[in-house]
Structure 1
């Protein structure tokens, strides 16, 4: 049995991949809307987070924010209902401190914890090719890897608990900085008399191509893509700034690119 907490934009295709691979799945659905979206899925629906852990060999947590991870894992009784020897997988991008706090409580219940933030979108999960940055003990990661391989490829074991979150935070910082660099590039192109959309499309065929550029082109402009990604990138950048601040880490050349991203997101006329 596999439990899932957070069957939304990312979690729902995970449920489908797990069920399609022959796993029994029980999934949390608190709202009427969530229940409706799951009614046609081959999964048992439960109404409380703790119920998702009952009898589960692994529970996947795929909620939106770090605060929601703490609520689900530390305040709901989920860990207490999971069998000893089960594994809790944190797919939500957040602070390594949260993963460590969850693991400390999990240890009291005999539950192992790995952090496995994802890189990609729902379409990647549906195709079984979402990238997973996994942090945790070698034997725990080995035990849960077959479950993760149901929807993840590659499944990259980065190091001990918390390492997955640190890699994902750096990944998203670089991605955000690339969008900021594209804002600079479009400004330069304008000064050279180039049309933004034609410039961006041309760059996709050259050595400047990147996933960030592909996203920008799909949305038609740097500003459009920056605003479309603001919600998830913004929360992740808040976390990485907090973590970097704790460690007195230096963003270096990433800093002005991140400032350019902030400028691209800002409403017209604001400073």
Structure 2
């Protein structure tokens, strides 16, 4: 496929490498000469502006840090205007489902399909081709981009219409973050008994409480170390899910207390 790519950072660059290795023609936005040189070394065609990414692309993939950046690129910038009719825009960034829906509404006027496709996993999962993808969008649009996404994604889960991918990811992240918060409270209990956190984490790996969150904490050695390493990513997604729930006139129920426990780990000085 002829692909454009915006956001070749911590997550995006290994995606680019997987795409080029699979034989796709990839044009990637590189804002500096040094970045463009590095991307060329990955087998991609590095371009200096959004027009170069979009022109002639069958699909453009966006993998930036937050929802505000997505809006800047897709709603305030020229990207959609330069994409050809019949192409697809894939947004990997976790954010508000309303952003995905707003982009889709605008893109429809130009005949561009929008797929919100947030991810679960890290760079090591991308390199191994096992990144989990939650895709929201029309059946035919998801089918068209599947060959590209399966270069680094397995499983690719089509979970519903545009916006559904973000909603699944927000629920996923709320549960993941809540489990870290629960682990923080469990460790506080354990510490009051004067026992070593490492021993607890080692033991829980073999119990019924084992989970991905626990595995990540165990790998880092403590809840505090894991929170420090992942706080920027987990924290921003927690804020999004709280905002979306409030906009819908609801709350997070029992998840709130666990997320508050996580917040105390992320901001221990507060």
Same fold flag (TM > 0.5): yes
1:62 and 1:255, CA in 2 relative to 1: closer, same or farther beyond 3 A?
Answer: same
CA contact (8 A) 2:37 2:46 kept: no
CA RMSD of aligned residues (A): 1.2
Shift of 1:237: 1.1
Alignment of 1:45-56 (within 5 A): 45-56=46-57
1:114 aligns with 2:130: no
1:132 alignment counterpart: 133
2:266, 2:42 → 1: CA distance?
A: 37
1:1-271 matched pairs, under 5 angstroms:
1-267=2-268, 270-271=269-270
Q: CA deviation at 1:73?
A: 1.0
Structure 1 unaligned spans of 5+: none
C-alpha deviation, 1:154, in angstroms: 0.4
CA distance in 1, matches of 2:106, 2:48: 23
Q: Report SS of the residue matched to 2:244.
A: helix
Q: How many residues align?
A: 269
Alpha-carbon separation, structure 2, partners of 1:182 and 1:195? 14
**C-alpha separation in 2, matches of 1:52 and 1:213:** 40
Deviation at residue 227 of structure 1 after TM alignment? 1.9
Secondary structure of 2:95's aligned partner = coil
CA distance in 2, matches of 1:140, 1:218: 38
Inter-partner Cα distance in structure 2 for 1:140 and 1:172: 25
Give the Cα separation in 2 of the matches to 1:186 and 1:71.
41
Q: CA deviation at 1:239?
A: 1.0
Structure 1 position 109, deviation (Å): 1.2
Unmatched runs of 5 consecutive residues or more in structure 2: none
What are the superposed Cα offsets for residues 36-66 of structure 1, whole Å, 9 maximum, x if unpaired? 4313111111111232111110110001111
TM normalised by structure 2 equals 0.96
